Structures are given as structure tokens and as C-alpha cells.
Amino acid sequence: MALLKCDFFSELLMISTSMTVILPENTNNQIGLKNNKYDGKIPVLYLLHGLSDDHTAWTRRTSIERYAAEYGIAIVMPQVDHSFYTDMAFGKQYWTFLSEELPNVVRSFFPISDAKEDNFVAGLSMGGYGAFRWALRKPEQFTAAASLSGVMDLASHAKQKQADQNPIANVMYLAFGNRDLAGTDHDLFALLRKEEELPALYQACGTEDFLWEENEKFAQFTNEYNIPVTTSFSAGAHEWGFWDEKIQEVLAWLPLKSK
């Protein structure tokens, strides 16, 4: 695998930014590493960070490059500040950046497939929310999406935070303002009800996670509405050891053509 630290300019955000990219390599001689071959355009997993992270988080906290090597898949890790992957009420248009500019930039730099069957998205915590929202709002772009310890019930979450006076409350205010998010396209439950052809969904959460309740609620909801979701609930908290384990499950679960 190749690891690329890519500093580029976002025309939309009007600022230099960075992404970390992993590309498969067709090699045999790397000691201690299984390496899968690929042919033609490369399938890609967009992998989204959490609230206190930037584009470096996944490579620093997990062995994502090693795990990806087995599957011949590219991994693209962008950064979106504290935005919740939204066009911020007070800040930058990270949703438009993520869903429009970023894929274009990525495809202009690297031989990444733009076929729906080769495109996947996953993320943790705030990025789990971002991954599901992206896949549910643009189901024509993705074959599968995974949320690890995701913020699933953003509307309730935001409502509760809007009453608080702490730093996280301010983060949510900058992202969403004071709107009620229930039923809007920020609300994963609303998006689920609206879409007809959904990508394959995977949802992991630890039972000691402070987001466990809203993950349980999400699972009940999808169950009730007969929306197929692969769930992986097990003992674990909101921490990187859990995500290091679950991202391996996600890669094994992805419906890659090469499998």
C-alpha cells in the first residue's frame, strides 16, 4: 500500500486543506503484510473522523493501512473541522465540500472508480453520523455505508445541547444554529423513511458507549420499518480500541466486487 499525505486547495472552502489517502499497490515483497491486487479503477472507502480529530486520526489510532492492504481498496480520509459534515450555520460549507468537491478532487488526482458499486463510506462518532447522512442523502453514490459509535439521533442530541452552556453546545450551535432538526435532512430517521433504495448499512456500537441508547433506538427503528442493517453491538466504550476492531469488520463486510 501507498500512504499519501495530500495538501490541496479547496476552491469552495477558500482555504488550503489536507487529506490522507491510502492507495493499493500490486506488490509481493513487503515483509509481514498481506497485499491484495486490483485491476482497473480502484474501489474506495471514504473514512470520516470524529469531533476532536482531523484527517490524520484513522491512520494514527488504527492500523487502517494494513487492514486495507488485504482488500485492494483505496481509503480517503478528509477533514471537516467541528462541522458535523454539514454546511455550517456559522462556518464553512463542509457538506458541499464533502459530497461534491472532494470526490471530484479525489478522482482528478487518483484513478479511483466513480461507479456506485465501488464507492463506500464509513466513519466514527460524528463521522458515523456523517457517513450515514451522506449515504442516505446520496444513495446513488454508494453501495454501502457504516457507522461506528455514530451520533444517530442528532435531532434529540442537538435539542438537548441547545439547552446547555458548554463547549460542545457551542460546536453544535455553530454547525446547526438553533433550529429544530427533527424531520429535516439532518435527521437520519427522517432520511431513512424518505429513501427507497438504500445502500447496505452497517451499524456498530459498544454497550458502554455514551451513545449506546441512541444506537439502540436507531436499531429498533430500522427493525420496525424492515430496513436491513447489519449490526455489530458488543461490550465496548467510545474509544479507539473499539474502532480499530470494528473497522476490520467493516472491511470484511463491504460488498467488494473483488471478493
Residue 31 contacts a second copy per CB under 8 A: yes
Q: How far is the CB of 120 from a second copy (least distance, A)?
A: 20
Q: How far is the CB of 239 from a second copy (least distance, A)?
A: 4
SS3 87: strand
| Cα separations in angstroms, 32 against 29, 64, 160, 209, 246 | 9, 15, 48, 34, 22
Amino acid at 25: E
| Cα separations in angstroms, 111 against 11, 44, 108, 115, 209 | 21, 10, 8, 12, 38
Strand pairing category for 74-77 and 15-23: antiparallel
Cβ contact 80:61 at 8 Å: no
Please tell me the distance from the alpha carbon of residue 225 to that of residue 186, in angstroms, as a whole number.
19
The DSSP 8-state label assigned to residue 91 in this structure reads S
| Interacting residue with a second copy among 36, 41, 56, 156 (CB under 8 A) | 56
Q: How far is the CB of 248 from a second copy (least distance, A)?
A: 10
Toward a second copy, which CB reaches closer, 52 or 165? 52
| Interacting residue with a second copy among 54, 87, 195, 249 (CB under 8 A) | 54
Residue 174 contacts a second copy per CB under 8 A: yes
Q: Specify the stretch interacting with a second copy by CB under 8 A; choose among 49-57, 136-144, 151-159, 197-205.
A: 49-57
Q: Which residues bind a second copy (CB under 8 A)?
A: 1-9, 11, 14-18, 23, 25-34, 50-54, 56-57, 59-63, 65-66, 81-82, 90-91, 105, 108-111, 124-125, 167, 171, 174, 238-241, 243-244
